[in-house]
Amino acid sequence: MERLILRDIPNFHRIDVYEVNGGYAALRKALAMSPAEVINVVKKSGLRGRGGAAFPTGLKWSFMPKDSSKPKYLVVNGDEGEPGTFKDRMIFEKNPHQLIEGTLIAAYAMGAQTVYIYIRGEYLKWINLLQTAIDDAYARGYAGRSILGSNFGTEIVIHRGAGAYICGEESSLMNSIEGQRGYPRVRPPFPAQYGLWGNPTTINNVETLTNVPLIIERGGEWYASLGAPALPGILLYGISGQVNRPGVYELPTGMLLTELISDVAGGVRGGKKLKAVIPGGLSVPVVRADEVEGLRMEPESLKTVGSMVGTAGIIVMDEETDVVKVTARIASFYHHESCGQCTPCREGTGWMAKILHRIERGEGRPEDLDLLVDIANNIEGNTICALGDAAAWPVRAMVRKFRDEFEAYIGRTRIVERALSSALPEPLTVKG
Amino acid sequence: MFTEQELAAIEAIMSKYPDPKAALLPVLWLAQAKRGWISEEVMREVAKILGLPPSDVLGVTTFYTMYNKKPVGKYHLQVCTNISCQLTGAEMVVGRIREKLKIGPGETTPDGKFTLSEVECLGSCGTAPVMQVNDDYHEALTPAKLDSLLESLA
């Protein structure tokens, strides 16, 4: 299939090359349409958010009030903190103008006069690349006041994050733009009613917006016909972990997971067998090798094994992977990144990490596994934002799907303890 | 505390937002760019400029991991140890740095040249394992690549 996001054309990131290949024609086309017409085309395309939640993009845009006198904002989410996800970075590097063009079309459709593009702090190189592209877009009259001679104008500002996973969550991202700690907000009110500084705001992922110029150019029906009906379109699959050719691959949605791992990414490294795969970024439940056959990267198919498409960040683990170690590391991550606002997440993530590291050290107790599932169940659904669920799901799935491996670790503890107690004549006591 | 040039840059940052408080993150970046870390003195000064209570600035500075709350070495080695790097050799990277530079995570060499930190996912999973040295990414690290990098910095 012809690649439409990560294009084959050399120097496509440069504005002159982008223009020669039809760039910014979709913006012209959109400006000749009414904002409502633009939203309708996007609705028809079936485009869903690519940041993990897969919310219908056109519908989200339609939530923005049409008659409000308040300033309206569009926020582009390029925080890309979900482990296993590295696609937005490719867009910044390879095709920044298609992102800018999609952003401008979205801003026009919603009447947003200011756009903030939030990019994770570590991506300084890519922030600079995007800033150059934005400057070029301004210089050619695509951004700023009176875009292409129309009466529509919008400013684009990059806001650099500073190392907080939680800021990829849209409401905490807004607080971060406002100069606060990245604490998620209670909803309702939703951002379209009460977003940045209390004004109507929409937050879209980088990849989502990069699809928009294609949709305006070729039509909603065309886009809706691509890939899987439940999640139509083009998807950037990020494949990492123990495969021969890790990387970002642009393909239609709904690809077979086996095909992605074996053919696209060249199979498991070192000729080893597959043990498990996390299909959609670290936060989605793991899939065991024996469940992979026939699974497609679309919601209905992944649901059958209790998982999700998420960010399409596919993390591959070979047969030698120590899932106990991996799960302990996963739990530490969420504990580190919990913002601390909600008790179930703040305490629960730390508790899970503590238990998992104790199991890893060979100090696990038989009751620990049920306790882990119980803690996960009590975090899930009981927090302001989705980080709680994101912390609960992978740990619970790992423990349920690889219970025997966790039990083996705990079993070893019991053997060591028994050996010690029979070897020692009497319990050691410390005198003093 | 801030140079004329920095103050002008701060003004420019503030003009990008309807509320000057929103300039806090970019202003902290600006301060750290020159000083390498954010001292209490800097926090107080930033608070004054943006009209914020110093406690707010402290709260924000400590919330975000990339703001250094104490001085770091000339080269800040930030090794990703999250899943994709864990699966492909993060342990090797940390272990080798430990061995060569005799520092563990959170420590700085006595000459102030290197600080080692273990960090969360850097979004470089396709080219794991990865380490960020100051602002630059060093990807698909192998023992040989890491050794020559450390030698070039020494």
Q: Judge whether A165 and A337 are in contact, CB under 8 Å.
A: yes
A149 Cβ contact partners less than 8 Å away, ≥ 6 residues apart:
A141
Q: What percent of chain A has pLDDT over 70?
A: 96
ipTM value for the complex? 0.98
pLDDT over 70 (residue B64): yes
Amino acid B89 reads G
Chain B residues 77-116 with CB within 8 Å of chain A: 81-84, 86-88
Confidence of residue A338 (pLDDT cuts 50, 70, 90): very high
Confidence of residue A432 (pLDDT cuts 50, 70, 90): very low
Q: Stretch A22-42: mean pLDDT, rounded?
A: 98
Instruction: Establish if B136 touches chain A: CB-CB under 8 angstroms.
Output: yes
pLDDT, position A105: 98
pLDDT, position A123: 98
Confidence of residue A67 (pLDDT cuts 50, 70, 90): confident
pLDDT over 90 (residue A431): no
CA dist B107 → B70, B77, B78, B90, B148 (Å): 11, 10, 12, 17, 21
Q: Stretch B146-153: mean pLDDT, rounded?
A: 97
Q: What percent of chain B has pLDDT over 90?
A: 99
Confidence of residue A192 (pLDDT cuts 50, 70, 90): very high
Q: Report which of A298, A287, A282 is spatially closest to residue A337, judged by C-alpha positions.
A: A282
CA dist A304 → A94, A300, A319, A343, A399 (Å): 35, 7, 23, 31, 18
Q: Judge whether B26 and A119 are in contact, CB under 8 Å.
A: no
pLDDT over 90 (residue A324): yes
Strand B75-80: give its sheet, edge to edge: B114-119, B75-80, B131-133, B136-138
> Is there a contact between A179 and B23 if contact means CB atoms under 8 Å apart?
yes
DSSP H or E run through A320: none
Q: Report which of A172, A209, A184, A204 is spatially closest to residue A95, judged by C-alpha positions.
A: A209
B17, B28, B87: residue with CB nearest A241: B87
Q: Stretch A69-91: mean pLDDT, rounded?
A: 98
Interface A-B, measured as beta-carbon pairs within 8 A, has a size of 144
pLDDT, position A138: 98
Pairing of strands A155-160, A114-119: parallel
Looking at CA atoms only, how far is residue A162 from chain B in angstroms? Answer: 5
Instruction: Establish if B33 touches chain A: CB-CB under 8 angstroms.
Output: no
Which residues in chain A touch residue B22, judged by CB atoms under 8 angstroms apart? 177-179
Q: Stretch A325-337: mean pLDDT, rounded?
A: 98
Q: Stretch A287-293: mean pLDDT, rounded?
A: 98
Question: What phi and psi values does residue B95 have, to the nearest 5 degrees?
Answer: -60, -40
What's the pLDDT tens digit per position in A211-249?
999 999 999 999 999 999 999 999 999 999 999 999 999
> Is there a contact between B125 and A164 if contact means CB atoms under 8 Å apart?
no
pLDDT, position A366: 94
